[in-house]
Copies of this chain bind each other. A is one copy, B any other.
């Protein structure tokens, strides 16, 4: 058994059953070993941003990490942006990066680069596997590191000779550390503060909003404390729909977020961070918590945030029963296709159990509202702010849904500009037969940047500046792009066309794309 075989058997033993790959020469023994360990499914991506984003999407839906396989430093760099997105909201990823053989490093061959510096900048766990004998243990440690605490990106650098030399055999999975007890004092202090009856907000995120238990616990605390219940702006996974407590997401625009938070004297923050502005703007604040508002952090390292919320609910004598979102869907829209009518069509048709990968950006503004009363579904957002995540995350979510066999459909709401970063995702969706419906929100511009141009104070932009934010000249034809990658596609220019096309796409079992031609302003 060589190192690569021991590595992949260890991944399988640790519950990692998918490896998203874009390999090169130094990873050929790993690729060859995939045939020896059919428990680990190899899924090819044509670009590394697809590979890493798919690992993120897979983990968000499957609740366990996937592995990646990348080729040397430049290919880690190609996948780095979506690893940034994963790490910013604690998605576990076992990130395997092949390197030159240990004895080849000193030659400074053309593809030599500082892999550890690139991996280190992800602020996760990094180890260079030194020998084939240690590789299996390194792999088990990497899986344990990826899944420790809230989760992180664990990068294992795999020199080619460590992969091809003889190994002892696979390693055993590591035992997860027991979660520490809740901090009773912390809960008592927060409960005392909330009992004062002052204006209070409860800002939840992370694991709390990923499932029903957390949302109910949050809803109970909010009800007991008459607190405004808010969700972080970009949750990794938000469970929502009819029958679940509804949470209002904090707005992306700092001005709106300040309005949401105005007047609060206490803000309880659970499994997320106190709100800050996404970007800086001249003369505007970075911290969004109002002056005079005390931030209380509930939970911490090793604490189950949902259990902490449940304990707080009990301490406050919260009711067992709370308001849930009522079932309600918009009527099928007719007439012009706009951001609003498109949203109505999606709300009209979104299937029960849908997994929505949302990188709709500006034109997607109305979709959350229009789907709030749909049957239960999950919402995956752009956690780290680096665009080009939506399509890969949908791809990984599609692999997880397909593997689970529960028939869940993936809907990817994808802004046009962002789509072009990782459009290669469509090919993997076609190859793997994934049940992903992509909706391209085509407004022919980086509309969000036109807005940001004004927000930073550049109020009279000239033609050159505007052309840098314009995606016309030439117009992108997403139907042609999809067809070129083997995904069937339709273009919709009216609300009726969109509704019909979206319905047909959902009815098909494999991937499909609907290009919605939208106005360039909301």
* Number of copies of this kind of chain in the complex: 2
Q: Decide yes or no whether A424 CB sits under 8 A from chain B.
A: yes
The answer to whether B42 and A468 touch across the interface, beta carbons within 8 angstroms, is: yes
Q: From A108, A282, A427, A458, name the one whose CB has the most chain B CB atoms within 10 angstroms.
A: A458
A464 engages B279 (CB within 8 Å): no
Contact present for A462 and B117 (CB under 8 Å): no
- Whether the Cβ atoms of A35 and B386 lie closer than 8 Å is no
Partner of A23, one of B109, B110, B111, B449: B449
Query: In the complex, are the beta carbons of B42 and A104 less than 8 A apart?
Result: no
Contact call A287/B107, Cβ cutoff below 8 A: yes
Neighbour of A417 across the interface among B46, B234, B384, B479, CB < 8 A: B46
Q: Assuming the A-B contacts A110-B384, A421-B47, are A31 and B453 also in contact, with contact meaning beta carbons closer than 8 angstroms in the complex? A: yes
Q: Which residue of B lies closest to A431 (CB)?
A: B473
Of B77, B114, B280, B475, the contact of A77 (CB 8 Å cutoff):
B77
Contact B109 A84 (CB under 8 A): no
Query: Known interface pairs A107-B286, A456-B29. Does A34 touch B468 (Cβ–Cβ under 8 Å)?
Result: yes
Residues of B within 8 A of A121 (CB): 73, 113-114, 117-118
| Minimum CB–CB distance for A358 against chain B, Å | 15
User: Quick one: which of B160, B465, B478, B480 contacts A279, CB cutoff 8 A?
Assistant: B160
Contacts A/B (CB < 8 Å), 10 sampled:
A25-B278, A29-B456, A31-B465, A44-B468, A74-B384, A80-B80, A109-B277, A110-B383, A423-B424, A476-B484
| Cross-chain contact A279 with B84 (CB below 8 angstroms) | no
One digit per residue, 1 when the CB lies within 8 angstroms of any chain B CB and 0 when it does not, for chain A 290-323 equals 0000000000000000000000000000000000
Q: Is A100 an interface residue (CB 8 A)?
A: yes
- Taking a contact as CB atoms under 8 Å apart, the answer to whether B468 and A477 are in contact is no
**Interface: A184 (CB within 8 A):** no
A427 — which chain B residues lie within 8 A by C-beta? 420, 474, 476
Q: Which residues of B contact A468 (CB under 8 A)?
A: 21, 23, 31, 34, 42, 44
Give A457 to B476 CA distance when docked, in angstroms. 44
Contact between A35 and B286, CB atoms less than 8 A apart? no
- Cβ-defined contact, B78 with A49, below 8 A: yes
Closest-CB distance, A66 to chain B (whole angstroms): 15
Beta-carbon contact of A484 and B473 below 8 Å: no
CA distance A74 to B121 in the complex (A): 11
Alpha-carbon distance A33/B104, docked complex (angstroms): 47
User: What chain B residues lie within 8 Å of A351 (beta carbons)?
Assistant: none
The answer to whether A196 has its CB under 8 Å from any CB of chain B is no
Q: Tell me the count of chain A residues lying within 8 A, CB to CB, of chain B.
A: 100
Q: How far is the CB of A476 from chain B (nearest CB, A)?
A: 6
- Nearest CB in chain B to that of A26: its residue: B279
Q: Are B449 and A277 neighbours in the complex by a CB distance under 8 Å?
A: no
With known contacts A118-B121, A464-B35, A109–B453 Cβ distance under 8 A: no
Are B47 and A103 touching (Cβ within 8 A)? Answer: no
**Set of chain B residues within 8 Å of A44, measured between Cβ atoms:** 467-468
Which of chain B's residues have a CB closer than 8 A to the CB of A149?
Answer: none
Q: Does A161 contact B (CB under 8 A)?
A: yes
Residues of B within 8 A of A103 (CB): 280, 286
Q: How far is the CB of A17 from chain B (nearest CB, A)?
A: 14
How far is B88's CA from A312's CA once the two chains are assembled, in angstroms?
57
Q: How far is the CA of A453 from the CA of B455 in the complex (A)?
A: 53
In the complex with contacts A103-B280, A279-B109, A431-B474, A449-B28 CB distance below 8 A: yes
Once the chains bind, are B386 and A467 in contact (CB under 8 Å)? no
Docked CA distance A59–B78 (Å): 22
Shortest CB-to-CB span from A281 to chain B, Å, is 8
A483 contacts B480, C-beta separation under 8 Å: yes
Interface presence of A164 (CB below 8 A): yes
| Chain B min CB distance to A257 (Å) | 12
A148 CB to nearest B CB, Å = 20
